[in-house]
Structure 1
Amino acid sequence: MPVKQKTIANEVSLTGVGLHTGLEVHMTFSPAPPNHGFAFKRVDLEGEPIIEADANYVVNTQRGTNLEKNGVKIQTSEHVLAALVGLDIDNVLITLNAPEPPIMDGSSKYFVQALEEAGIVEQEAEREIYVIKDVISYRDEATGSEITVIPADSYQVTTMVDFGTMVLGTQNATLEKMSDFKTEIAAARTFSFLHELEMLLEHGLIKGGDLNNAIVYVDKEISPDTMKKLEKAFNKASLSVKPNGILDNLTLHQPNEAARHKLLDVIGDLALIGMRIQGKVIANKPGHFVNTQFAKKIAKLIRAEKRSKVPVYDLHQEPLMDVKKIMNMLPHRPPFLLVDKILELSDSHVVGVKNVTMNEPFFVGHFPGAPVMPGVLQVEAMAQTGGILVLSTVPDPENYLTFFMKMDNVKFKQQVVPGDTLIFKCDLISPIRRGICHMQAYAYANGKLVSEAEMMAQIVKTKGKEE
């Protein structure tokens, strides 16, 4: 059953501190139109540039997932994106006056609260979902981290973490229903090990941290000198280590809060795919690098499938137009008429069919020992199919001719040979104006994309002439 896209009903803002910059950040969630997706807007920079939440913009995964487009950066995007996906939202503009969202308490909880306060509304457009049909994996050989997605009836995530330390041990977390994100995952806070924290403090890389937005696991002995540095950094009179191995001033929400936060990170990072997926994600020792590499792999597969997606038609159905009706509209005649049937025709698209036989006259001279349909004739056949679309907009198509104006991005993917049935699909890229038609055309055979082209043509009233 189709699912409608969603956005928020009203603007809502939060103020907090950036974890790595220590700057006070004002962030606003704003409604966005259908098919907008998630994007960040830097209002503190000239021109107020926008960076889409896209895996291709990931430039760094140290201490968070960091995006960059045309020199403009967004740091630690994952907690905000996880909240949006966890609340089943599709389209939101996130406005910031700094390079990173506020860290808040190191989880997604406050973002979830703000978004719910804004209200969530359905939009007219349907949500596009990428259904996982085969097992897809990505493994980082250097760390042993691996993410796999398998077919499932819904979007599910399982994380398994093992940092090889006694203080944390091995933990697992699972989210079977995204509707449980708010109660099960959103409040899980980020965490760090003491040895990492010392390095970050020494290099001035964690200016906005305190003991309320990061769990610190003590994985080594703390010297008195180190303890003094920590007390100064966190502005605390005294610190100590709890029996469970974490610094005091924080109580774990759940024993496996670390694994739950890693699950939160996975959801936020996979939001960079740009499309909701239907499948079960299993992440072993996940981290921002492996998460975003996996997101890039899935996004690449989606783009490839979109380019080569083969529409399914019943070739035995009664055609909308047979060859006689086609000849009443097009001036072309055999052997140069390259469309046999029209299956679909609307204001914005047309679908035609060509049965390629050994009797085609071009096979006599085009590789007669290994007959292959010339690519230029495939393009011509797509153009003739598109001609049906544009000529259907005038009351007397027999008095018009269609002429090419230009072709772009012409590609030939597969050979077309005798016995193949070609299916042509042409879609308008923009509305027809002054008889000019701009369309994207595809040709399919044997369940594969064989050729494609972006074409522009014009119809001209000139009865009695042939193209």
Structure 2
Amino acid sequence: MVKQKTIQNEVSLTGVGLHTGKEVKMTFKPAPVNNGYTFVRVDLEGSPVIEADANYVVNTQRGTNLEKLGVKIQTSEHVLAAFVGCDVDNVIIELNESEPPIMDGSSKFFVEAIEKAGIVEQEAERCYYVVKEVISFADEATGSEILVMPADDYQVTTMVDFGTKVLGTQNATLKNIADFKTEISDARTFSFLHELETLLDNGLIKGGDLNNAIVYVDKEISEKTMNNLKVAFGKEKISVKPNGILDNLTLHYPNEAARHKLLDVIGDLALIGTRIKGKVIANKPGHFVNTQFAKKLSKIIKIEQKNQVPVYDLNAEPLMDIHQIMNTLPHRPPFLFVDRIIEMSDSHVVGLKNVTMNESFFVGHFPEAPVMPGVIIVEAMAQTGGILVLSTVPDPENYLTFFMKIDNVKFKHKVLPGDTLIFKCDLITPIRRGICHMQAKAYANGKLVAEAELMAQIAKKS
């Protein structure tokens, strides 16, 4: 069990915003469990809070920008990446401007501040989303694609190709998030000269200088552009190095661009709001495709959490095998639809059925395209619940179970031969006079396939 973490003490940094050029003070503060990452605009009336949530992304031009009720946070990704990379779950990020300081264009100084503040464990358990199948998002316009596949830990690989000679194809991989500080955190943001010209013409990157952005020169520099760059960066002289980089900035890594893109992916995917156990592969990533993927994955996670898909060790010794079930239930094949009881308490029971092709109902229920009948699924859930109610009497073999009522039945997915059905029945009210009122759910392949409110009564055999 991994516990949630926050910082021990508050810590502040000051600098300028890359695009606003405004001096900004940013303070990290400890946060309670399940807080996640929250930005607070202390310069605005009421100190409004903006959660780091993919659904608040409004713009991805030159950074990931959030907005909630008209309150904005710009270029959030480098700060968020630092907290994920430092294994911190909960933190309050106070700002007196809309944009965090750019510092050197990486997450390095944020990581140092977090380490200075100290990291402490909290009481609550950390929640993970365990990836069970490939989930992807593609942007056909740009050819960018990002996907996540099953893996034991959170891993990220980025592949970039900008189609220029000065910056060819590059790859970067982070196999263990613990290596973020040493391998990724100091990878700086970058831009191409043609992008820089547009940004300067539109009055952006007011806080930029040659110490916080790598500039790849992908075209000849005109005298006008050279003069504009001198003014923008406050330099008397600007030159192009043999490796195609503006001025005398030295790369930290030959593939620093790919590493920074990986940093951006980690920061943008922090907006999912849940830790991931899976391997992310991003081809030509960018803030748009990253955040669209974050929105998609966040939605999938929320649906699964709402359905509360249970996870059980199906290889473990069952609480009741088929022989013990037949000693309790009056049902017999071909109308016995529970193979095992996995778990049971005073208020719930969990059962299992392996659906095979030789089930009697497949003989007539679409034999050319077999689908388990919904009424049989409901009956199987009821039989599982019957185990629970019969466990309250000393001689269950002398009782029968009868339906009294079925409400709010919903069928969500097909159940096919080869599926393993998990039935979970929870009491809605305590069992009285042999009457059981329960909420029953059936799961297969990690999805909720059916649910219903069931009421049944046990009665002694006449």
Cα offset for 1:255? Answer: 2.7
Is 1:46 the counterpart of 2:46? The answer is: yes
Write the distance in 2 (CA, Å) between the matches of 1:185 and 1:92.
21
AA of the residue aligned to 2:285 = P
Q: Is the 8 A contact 1:375 1:412 kept in 2?
A: no
State the partner residue of 1:215: 214
The 1:72/1:121 distance shift into structure 2, 3 A limit, reads same
Cα offset for 1:326? Answer: 9.8
TM-score by length of 1: 0.73
Cα offset for 1:322? Answer: 6.9
Write the distance in 1 (CA, Å) between the matches of 2:110 and 2:353.
55
CA deviation map 1:216-241 (0-9, x unaligned): 2222222222222222222x241312
- 1:329-408 matched pairs, under 5 angstroms: 344-346=343-345, 349-351=348-350
The 1:228/1:267 distance shift into structure 2, 3 A limit, reads same
The 1:47/1:94 distance shift into structure 2, 3 A limit, reads closer
State the partner residue of 1:240: 238
Percent sequence identity is 68
SS of residue paired to 2:66: strand
SS of residue paired to 1:259: helix
State the partner residue of 1:461: none
CA deviation map 1:394-442 (0-9, x unaligned): xxxxxxxxx99x979x66544799xx997542569xx999x9xx99752
- 1:299-310 matched pairs, under 5 angstroms: 299-303=298-302, 305-306=304-305, 307=307
Q: Is the 8 A contact 2:58 2:65 kept in 1?
A: yes
Write the distance in 1 (CA, Å) between the matches of 2:452 and 2:113.
44
The 1:50/1:135 distance shift into structure 2, 3 A limit, reads closer
Cα offset for 1:254? Answer: 2.4
Write the distance in 1 (CA, Å) between the matches of 2:420 and 2:129.
28
Write the distance in 2 (CA, Å) between the matches of 1:442 and 1:119.
44
- 1:164-243 matched pairs, under 5 angstroms: 164-234=163-233, 236-243=234-241
Write the distance in 2 (CA, Å) between the matches of 1:422 and 1:188.
47
CA deviation map 1:38-92 (0-9, x unaligned): 23233325362332333x3322211111223343332211101111111122222
The 1:226/1:302 distance shift into structure 2, 3 A limit, reads same
Q: Is the 8 A contact 1:156 1:280 kept in 2?
A: yes
Write the distance in 1 (CA, Å) between the matches of 2:340 and 2:315.
12
Cα offset for 1:355? Answer: 12
AA of the residue aligned to 1:266 = V
SS of residue paired to 2:20: coil
Cα offset for 1:384? Answer: 10
Cα offset for 1:250? Answer: 2.8
SS of residue paired to 2:424: strand
SS of residue paired to 1:269: helix
SS of residue paired to 1:50: strand
Cα offset for 1:187? Answer: 1.0
Is 1:284 the counterpart of 2:269? The answer is: no
Write the distance in 2 (CA, Å) between the matches of 1:432 and 1:96.
49
AA of the residue aligned to 1:296 = K
The 1:423/1:233 distance shift into structure 2, 3 A limit, reads closer
CA deviation map 1:355-411 (0-9, x unaligned): 99x999xxxxxxxxxxx9997997899799889999x99xxxxxxxxx99x979x66
Q: How many residues align?
A: 447
The 1:373/1:67 distance shift into structure 2, 3 A limit, reads same
The 1:381/1:50 distance shift into structure 2, 3 A limit, reads farther
Write the distance in 2 (CA, Å) between the matches of 1:195 and 1:385.
66
Cα offset for 1:196? Answer: 1.0
Cα offset for 1:305? Answer: 4.8
State the partner residue of 2:265: 266
Cα offset for 1:300? Answer: 4.0
The 1:242/1:299 distance shift into structure 2, 3 A limit, reads same
- In structure 2, list runs of 5 or more residues that go unmatched: 331-336, 362-370, 393-403, 455-462
The 1:129/1:316 distance shift into structure 2, 3 A limit, reads closer
Cα offset for 1:20? Answer: 1.8
- In structure 1, list runs of 5 or more residues that go unmatched: 328-337, 361-371, 394-402, 458-467
CA deviation map 1:87-126 (0-9, x unaligned): 1222222222322222111110111011111111223333
SS of residue paired to 1:76: coil
SS of residue paired to 2:196: helix
SS of residue paired to 1:279: strand
Q: Is the 8 A contact 1:415 1:450 kept in 2?
A: no
Q: Is the 8 A contact 1:147 1:294 kept in 2?
A: yes
The 1:382/1:124 distance shift into structure 2, 3 A limit, reads farther
Write the distance in 2 (CA, Å) between the matches of 1:66 and 1:21.
13
Cα offset for 1:288? Answer: 1.2
SS of residue paired to 1:199: helix
Cα offset for 1:168? Answer: 2.4
State the partner residue of 1:367: none
Write the distance in 2 (CA, Å) between the matches of 1:74 and 1:454.
44
Q: Is the 8 A contact 1:156 1:176 kept in 2?
A: yes
The 1:103/1:448 distance shift into structure 2, 3 A limit, reads closer
Cα offset for 1:304? Answer: 5.0
SS of residue paired to 2:75: coil
TM-score by length of 2: 0.74
Aligned Cα RMSD in Å?
5.0
Cα offset for 1:313? Answer: 5.3
Q: Is the 8 A contact 2:26 2:93 kept in 1?
A: yes
SS of residue paired to 1:26: strand
Write the distance in 2 (CA, Å) between the matches of 1:432 and 1:34.
31
